[in-house]
Every structure is written in structure tokens, then in C-alpha cells.
Structure 1
Amino acid sequence: MNDKPQALPSFGTIVLAAYKPDPALFERQLLSISKQTHANFECVITADGDPEGVSRLVRSILPGDDRFRVAGFGDRLGFYGNFERGLTLVPPSADWVALSDQDDYWYPEKLERLLPHLESAVLVTGQARVVTDSGRVVAESTMRRRTDICDLLVQNQVTGGLCVFRRDLLEVILPFPRLSTLTQNHDHWIGVAAAALDDYVIVDDIVQDYVQHAANVIGEATESFNPLRSLRRARELALKFENSTSVPSVAVMVANMTFGWKALMLGTLEKRMPERTHSLEAASKTFNGPWAVFRIVALLWRGVIGSRTDLGPALTHLIGLFGRRQATRRLTAAES
């Protein structure tokens, strides 16, 4: 008996967000997508500014391949908004959606390996080999691991360019929630939405190269946690967002990056999901209410001990807990 999941005889849309792509890396990526063994797809390339330049590149790389089309936008939204408007262009005829960065490299059987898992899950994500743009291997695998929604809220395990999901997930995730913070990421939002549906999987298949270079907006964390480096970065961000580098200001900034973003995601899901699933109930109970601080500390402790959460994110969230108290005090003082 063959227990291997069977592939969906399906049509899908690949949304590729582009912004001033490096011509060589862009060509390599587009060719790798065009050579997928599951060839029943369209690739919508959303050009975030300079659509004509992107269109010329696509025409020169893939002349005559009408599966690839460029949706040009003159206004610059950044990667978060660019992926969002790309997803709004997914046609009703699509059964599934995949996301793509402009400078990675897909292995030929990526879609063929991942799509069968959508028979039993709303989203599946694989693994990648981490390489530099010169081809040097940084890590043999991204080592993503499936965690429950509470751990996933603390540390994201779903990378947009590695995942494929059913089209009906768009009904939950669009439009994207908005918060002015660096932690606002499309893949974290999509992953948490899938987890709230009790319905995502992570497999060990290495399905692409994840290319690291100086122009990455968000790269793969390959260095160990460095407290001094993290503190310097936190002070820089506090000066930018809070106009101060004091300890309370740093803590408030961290609170907005961690718990502010979580509260927005959970609140959005509670409004949009027709039924409150067990996962969504568990997440709301963990992060809200008068005793939430104790539940969060216990969650972080269990996550670190159980190797579901790295030390850096755990410590960041502990600082965020202090920052939440500072923010509450500021609000109380302003209202009195």
C-alpha cells in the first residue's frame, strides 16, 4: 500500500514580489520556477516600483512563456504591501498559492513535493539550504519545525518563500493587518492564520536554495544570539520609534514589536474566522487576561527547554513584558 500523499491535479498561482532585482539572481530564480515538474501554474510578478524595468527583464529571460506576467505598480509599498497586493491578484480559478522571493532558487520538484500535503492541510512549508550569492553553503537546512500557535507567535517557523497554501486561506489573511513595527511580516501573519485553523504542516524536504546577500530585507538568522549586538540594535530602534534610548523606552519599543504585533494578529483572526478553533482559543487565553504574564513566562520557559523557542526570542519577549507594564503606566498617567 502506498501511503505517499497524491498530488492535486491542480492549477495555482505563484506570487513573486520584485523590487530592483539583481539581473543574474532574478534570471536564475525565474528559470528555476519555469522548470518546475508541476507546470500547471501562473506566476504573477508584482513590481514594486519601476515596472517597466522588471517587465523587460522577464521578457528577455522567458520570451514566449505566457505563464509569467508582470503586474506593474509605480508606487513603492515595501515587501509587506507588495506581497499583499500580489495576493489580491490571485484568480478564483487557482487551487493553491505559493510565494516567491526574487533571488532564491527553486529545485525542480519543489511544487511536486509540497502540493500533495494540501490534501490534508491548509498550508505546507518545506526547508531550504542556506547559501550566499556566490554559492557558498552557510547551512544545509533551515531546520524549520512545526510548533503550536502559541510557540509560533513567539518565534515564526513559516517562511513565505518556502510555503504553499490553499487559495481559501486568502479569505482569512486579506487584507493584511497593519502595524508600524519591524516585526510586521507577511509570512508570520500567514503562518499564524494557518495555525489558528489547526491546519498546517512542516516537512523536512529541502526544496530550494535560500540565497543570502547584502540586499536581503529579511535574511536567515545564521549567527548565534549576541546580547551586546541585540542591545545596540534595540537602542537604535528605540531612538527611531520612541525618540529615546532609555531603558523604559527600549522596553516599550520591544513590547510593541512583540506583544503589539501578536495582539493585532489575534484580534484580526477573532474578527475574521467564522468559528473560534481550539488553537485560537488557546492563544487568546495565553496572551490575554490578568494572569497572562505568568502564562507567557511559562510558555517561554517550556519553549526554550523543549527546543521550540530560541534563547534570543525568549529574552526579547521577557523585555517586552516589562515594556507592556511601562506602556500601561504611561497610558494611565496620560489619562489622569
Structure 2
Amino acid sequence: MKKVQILLSTYNGEKFVEEQIESLLNQDYQNINILIRDDGSKDQTKSIIKRYKTNYPEKISVMDDSNIGVKKSFMKLIEQASESADYIAFCDQDDYWEPKKISRLVEVMEKEDQEIPLMYFSKLNIVDSQLNYLRQSPDPEMGIGFENALIQNIATGCTMGINQSLLTLVKSSMPDPDLIVMHDAWLYLIASAFGKNLYDKESYISYRQHESNAVGMSTSKFKSIQKRYQYFKKERKTKPYTAQANELYKCFYKQLDSDKQKLLYAFLFSRKNMMQRMNFIKKTNLYRQTEMDTKIYKICYINNWY
């Protein structure tokens, strides 16, 4: 039976973390190890985690550390991820996993060539704070690939699993965590650049919807477009996807195939003036997952906001 390690980052999660850990322990796939990094919680999260570690020493390991933020916390977990595990899964503190989540991950992964860097991710059942069903996340109708991953992340971290080949590749040249969008966006980008993404149209997770992750979730089409435009405009100073692409350039440019090298180079360095940016948009096929989102992206890129 293949070994799966689950990486869980916690911070002030006393309200939901116990329910989440129980859902991990109740997986129908039992060859798992849970590595938890607490990001300096001030509530009872640490006590809850320590109790579970005491009760399940063969299943749970804990890294108790200072507060560095969720992005850096997950990157620390990736650095410490087991080299003996066949697959690595990622977990948020406030969701709920269905019993088949890990067995489904293994089932899908085992059909593939393990020499290839692989990443699995799936649809989400979006729920409220009491786990009442709201809706499902949309499928990536425009397709999965490098041309999408450069400017958008569609792989939600808590659904994701990677194989040892992808883990080894990611560890070989770690980015500056401050300059990537998030750990899941980085993994989607690396998998798209060098390996294979495996999307599952079934959901095995209840994903709690909060205000902080509600960008673009509005049921009103007009409000959704308005929110996305304002989001892009707000991000024009930091240009998170440009910063992340720069990290890809620094860490892995020489390892990319020639087509991806050309696209990445053009995305980063063909933007000195509006004419260059307009030419780039005309000649390349970068895309987001809706036609409207792609149009907004193009407007933002031309205006040097992205």
C-alpha cells in the first residue's frame, strides 16, 4: 500500500481544526501520516494538536513554530515533506474531508507514470461554516496548462496531491515565498511547466467559504466582473503573477522546453511600453477560465497592471 503524507498548516483554528483532523483520521485509506505545522497560534489550536499527537503518535507529527503566514508555512511544510512518501496531500484547517478523499487520490495517481511530475486536484463542494452545501466549484472549461498557470491558479490547495517526482523537482530550487502567489499556485505552475495535471470532476471535500476566499464567487455576473476588475486593479502595484513568473524564470528557466522559455521570456520582458504589451497579447494565447476573465486580464496587461 502506497504511503501518503498530509501537510496541514494551522493558525488560530480552534473552531474547526478538531473536526478536520477527525476527518483525516477517518479516511478509508489508512497508510497516512499527518505533518502539522502550527503558525504561532494564540488560541487553543496548539493544545488540540498536541492532544491528537499524543493519542495518535504513529499518525501525527507536529512542527510548532513562530508566525510567518500561511504561504511561508506551507512552503516550510513542503521543505520538510517526506522523501519516503509516495504522495503528498495538502490540507487546510477548516474544511472537512470525505472518507474516500485519499483513496481517490491514490487511485487516480496510480494509473500514471510516476517518473512524470504529477499533480492531482479536484472539484470542491463549497459549504457554509456549518457544512451546509452551497454549490460546487466550476470545472476548468478552458483547459489546464502552462498558458493558464502563468496568469491564474485553478488548483485549490486543499484538493491537491503530488507525487514524489514533483516534490523532488519543487524542492530542487525553492522560490522566495514572498514572491509567489500561494503554494498551490506555484505547484500548479510547476506541474504545468514540467509534468501533468490530473483534474477530478468529483469532489471529496467540503470547503468552507469565507469572505477572504470569496473573490469572484458572487452569484451576480455583473458584480463578479466588477469585483474581478477591482481586484486586478488593486494588485497592479505588486503584480503577483508577474512576480511568480520571475521566480519561475530564476529557478527553472534553463529546464523549460524552448516553447515555454519563449513564452515566459516574452511575458516578463516584452512589456516596456504599451505597444509591446499589445503585441504580446495579440501573439500569445494566455488565458483564464472564462472569456470575460481573459478579456479583463488582457486589459490589465496592456495597462501594465498584471
TM-score, L = length of structure 1: 0.75
1:20 aligns to what? 12
Give, as a single letter, the amino acid of the residue that structure 1 aligns with 2:253.
Answer: E
CA RMSD of aligned residues (A): 3.1
Deviations 1:180-220 (A, max 9, x none): 56x72111100110111131211212111111134x4x446
Tell me, in whole angstroms, the C-alpha distance in 2 between the residues paired with 1:225 and 1:168: 42
The CA deviation string for residues 220-273 of structure 1, in whole angstroms up to 9 with x for no partner, is: 6311464554565566x47xxxxxxxxxxxxx526x2343332332442215x4
**Is the alpha carbon distance of 1:94 and 1:102 closer, same or farther for their aligned partners in structure 2, counting shifts above 3 Å?**
same
Query: Are 2:264 and 1:284 aligned?
Result: yes
Distance in 2, Cα, partners of 1:201 & 1:322: 34
CA–CA distance in structure 1, aligned partners of residues 82 and 42 of structure 2: 21
After superposition, the Cα gap between the structure-2 partners of 1:179 and 1:206, relative to the gap in structure 1 and judged at 3 Å, is: closer
Distance 1:295 1:52 in 2: 49
Question: Are the counterparts in 1 of residues 277 and 301 from structure 2 also a CA contact under 8 Å?
Answer: no
Letter of the structure 2 residue corresponding to residue 38 of structure 1: Y
Look up the match of 1:259.
242
Q: How big is each residue's C-alpha offset from its partner over 1:150-186, in whole Å with a ceiling of 9 and x where there is no partner? A: 12222211111111101232233236423756x7211
For the Cα contact (< 8 Å) 2:53–2:62, is it kept in 1?
no
1:110 corresponding residue in structure 2: 101
2:148 matched to 1:156? no
Change (3 A) 1:320 1:29: same
User: CA shift at 1:281, angstroms?
Assistant: 3.6
Give 1:141 shift. 3.5
Match of 1:296?
281
Change (3 A) 1:151 1:213: closer
* Alpha-carbon separation, structure 2, partners of 1:234 and 1:281: 25
Distance 2:42 2:232 in 1: 35
Map 1:46-65; keep pairs closer than 5 Å.
Answer: 46-50=37-41, 53-60=44-51, 64-65=55-56
2:253 maps to 1:270: yes
Please tell me whether residue 200 in structure 1 is matched to residue 197 in structure 2: yes
TM-score, normalized by length of structure 2?
A: 0.81
Amino acid in structure 2 at the alignment position of 1:318 = I
Q: Deviations over 1:45-99 (max 9, x none)?
A: 10000389434212445762220122100x2111110001111222221111000
Map 1:123-142; keep pairs closer than 5 Å.
123-142=119-138
Residues 123 and 165, structure 1, Cα contact 8 Å, conserved in 2? yes
Measure, in 1, the Cα distance between the counterparts of 2:303 and 2:291.
19
Q: What is the distance in 2 between the residues matched to 1:126 and 1:42? A: 21
Q: For 1:34 and 1:310, locate their aligned partners in 2 and report how far apart those are by CA, in whole Å.
A: 41
- Give the aligned length: 290
State the Cα distance separating 1:278 from its structure 2 match.
6.2
Percent identity at matched positions? 18
Q: Which amino acid aligns with 2:127?
A: V
- State the shift of 1:117 in Å: 2.5
The match for 1:312 is 293
Report the CA distance shift for 1:225/1:22 in structure 2 as closer, same or farther (over 3 A): farther
Tell me if structure 1 keeps the 8 A contact 2:17–2:45.
Answer: no
1:69, 1:59 → 2: CA distance? 9
Q: Deviations over 1:266-302 (max 9, x none)?
A: 442215x4xx3366346426525656643434546x8
